Structure 1
């Protein structure tokens, strides 16, 4: 059986098993220059609002507990001297409330209870501090991560794999070439629990072995899902609009912060004019990623992710999406499984437009 996500034919295997998912927002990164991350520049848009580095607690009915990403550790020195030295020189500021293990233990979830940590990738703002977890916690990585960062010494100032990350613990690399591999949309997938509740997705480009996750949050006539995007994109403006999710004629609630949210935002042709003036596809995203381990591959992965992002019953949560700090967003220890009932898809999908408001043409062109 299948769950048909939309009439365009994107399907996934049927399942009546869900994952209880909880969002941990413990990190704030202030003052990032968007021209270092996104391309082409938008005049008047240089520094975006502060962004999180989200982590996710995934609880399976079997009792297994997983973490998808760990954010930033409170002690930056645990990331290695090369990363720590670089972070002292960058222009943005990092605020870490607490390590993930401390947040969990405040709510009676012991670090020993975590069966596995899944890194979307090995960059400094996602890997946290694995040494805080016991050897019984497996580290799950994407393809070729060990060869790249351990065997070939590919660590850099943006991250990698240190000895303390893997010493004494089981490390599992996801194999997307094996017989168990599925195809969901245009992405290769592995069914983590073999029950359709959690799929790890092959999304290379931003970093070697970059993973995303598709988590089933409800079942029924039409299941709902979270798409945990990691750094497949840094900003929703690299993903939207798209052929799967065109820009609406009017948007409610209004995404602009100084406007009554009940008055619809009508973009007219302002986005088309913005993109046309910068050599971008008129009805596509406003940005492309500016850098990555394989930039062309990163752009391809974004295109594949757009297939999921265009579905009403799939909520994309990028690790650094400031829109996730919406007033209606449930945070740990509350579950986000009822995101669809809460209207979070509607509320979050176009909220990012506030980031580029200053760069939009002031009047629609007829």
Structure 2
């Protein structure tokens, strides 16, 4: 099991001269039963029942704005006046209830971005990425919350993009690092074009997960049972970047939080869709009425839209799409779309709450540390927030130009 990174799938220790590598595959022999069995933990996805759980606490490390047309490299369509995009950079503290082991799933961005590799630091010096409170990162947030870094046994990167890896050099060498098997571990300056630096790995145990022997177990995604008791799974969700991981956290015996990393960025990439509409058929009446005029029929279609009035109820396809531009942030658009579709299946289920790392529609709605996300279902949080992204007052709203008249003229 992966409770101790030494026993993990592919382990190596980075130092200036040596690297030790060992292999250990961790298959999940789950029956792929996709029929709903209400009242059990098998759900639609072949997940075995368990009473073992973890606690999830969320940090919004920083909010950042991307300018200079970068929005179009993430999603489409990008309507006139909405070229800049603001994201939260979320990080997640996971605590295993039985062993009380702690791990971090993603770290957000480091507080000194000029110490990233030059290819990444340039995004900040050129003003393409503008962050609020750049002098604080997850290290300070953990310290302020009374969480000792020495109590974090492992950091898991969903993937190796700068806004997820934080600054590993601030963690003690006793903190292990878990990454996807296809993660590029080249570092600057040995590899001048690399986006990682030596201190990201130096002196610590690094685990590359091996999904080769894992059976499809969760919406068609291969999985590793991290603690060996069904409380926390790591999922192979490639596409956005080689080695991209998601996580599935059992927070009660019958409810889960799915940490999606960058499987998608905006809720509109996953919603609506037919299964989602069946479970969550419409937003609140006032919001449904508002969308008739707030969602532009010049850019978005639905079967029952008439005379410039958008009909959200008849829209059975997600409103946004993943960018497939050659210079997009997505390494493999086809793989990424497959991963998104599989995670979107979960998003349509009432027992799963999907949280991706940059979903700004949740920024003002989810409980942050020290509060726990474990009570989301009892609190009916999902019902309250899943349609936030079509609320014109929500920063996630992207469905009309800033200046409609100007856009129609040219």
Same fold (TM over 0.5): yes
Once the two structures are superposed, the pairs formed by residues 314-333 of structure 1 within 5 Å of their partners are 314-327=352-365, 329-333=366-370
C-alpha distance in structure 1 between counterparts of 2:277 and 2:129, whole Å: 33
Count how many residue pairs are aligned between Structure 1 and Structure 2: 341
Which of 60, 73, 77 lines up with 1:36 in the alignment?
73
Residue ranges of structure 1 left out of the alignment (5+ in a row) = 256-262
Residue 9 of structure 1 deviates from its aligned partner by: 3.2
Q: Which residue does 2:95 correspond to in 1?
A: 59
Residue ranges of structure 2 left out of the alignment (5+ in a row) = 1-29, 38-42, 303-313, 392-396, 405-410
Judging changes above 3 Å, is the alpha-carbon distance between structure 1 residues 5 and 110 closer, same or farther for their aligned structure 2 residues?
Answer: farther
C-alpha distance in structure 2 between counterparts of 1:214 and 1:155, whole Å: 35
Conserved? CA contact 1:203–1:211, under 8 Å:
yes
Residue 275 of structure 1 deviates from its aligned partner by: 4.2
Once the two structures are superposed, the pairs formed by residues 90-109 of structure 1 within 5 Å of their partners are 90-95=127-132, 96=134, 98-109=136-147
Q: Which residue does 2:206 correspond to in 1?
A: 171
C-alpha distance in structure 1 between counterparts of 2:361 and 2:367, whole Å: 13
SS at match of 2:119: helix
Are 1:85 and 2:122 counterparts?
yes
C-alpha distance in structure 2 between counterparts of 1:44 and 1:80, whole Å: 32
SS at match of 2:160: coil
Per mean C-alpha deviation after superposition, the further-off stretch among 39-48 and 347-356 is 39-48
Q: Which residue does 2:226 correspond to in 1?
A: 192
SS at match of 1:246: helix
Judging changes above 3 Å, is the alpha-carbon distance between structure 1 residues 64 and 29 closer, same or farther for their aligned structure 2 residues?
Answer: same
Conserved? CA contact 1:202–1:210, under 8 Å:
yes
C-alpha distance in structure 2 between counterparts of 1:358 and 1:308, whole Å: 28
Superposed CA RMSD: 3.1
C-alpha distance in structure 2 between counterparts of 1:271 and 1:12, whole Å: 41
Residue 82 of structure 1 deviates from its aligned partner by: 2.2
Q: Which has the larger radius of gyration?
A: 2
Residue 186 of structure 1 deviates from its aligned partner by: 1.3
C-alpha distance in structure 1 between counterparts of 2:268 and 2:208, whole Å: 31
Q: Which residue does 2:151 correspond to in 1?
A: 113
Judging changes above 3 Å, is the alpha-carbon distance between structure 1 residues 23 and 254 closer, same or farther for their aligned structure 2 residues?
Answer: farther
Q: Which residue does 1:212 correspond to in 2?
A: 246
C-alpha distance in structure 2 between counterparts of 1:319 and 1:138, whole Å: 21
Q: Which residue does 2:386 correspond to in 1?
A: 349
Judging changes above 3 Å, is the alpha-carbon distance between structure 1 residues 215 and 273 closer, same or farther for their aligned structure 2 residues?
Answer: farther
Q: Which residue does 1:11 correspond to in 2?
A: 46
Conserved? CA contact 1:5–1:311, under 8 Å:
no
Q: Which residue does 2:282 correspond to in 1?
A: 250
C-alpha distance in structure 1 between counterparts of 2:260 and 2:64, whole Å: 18
C-alpha distance in structure 2 between counterparts of 1:120 and 1:40, whole Å: 26
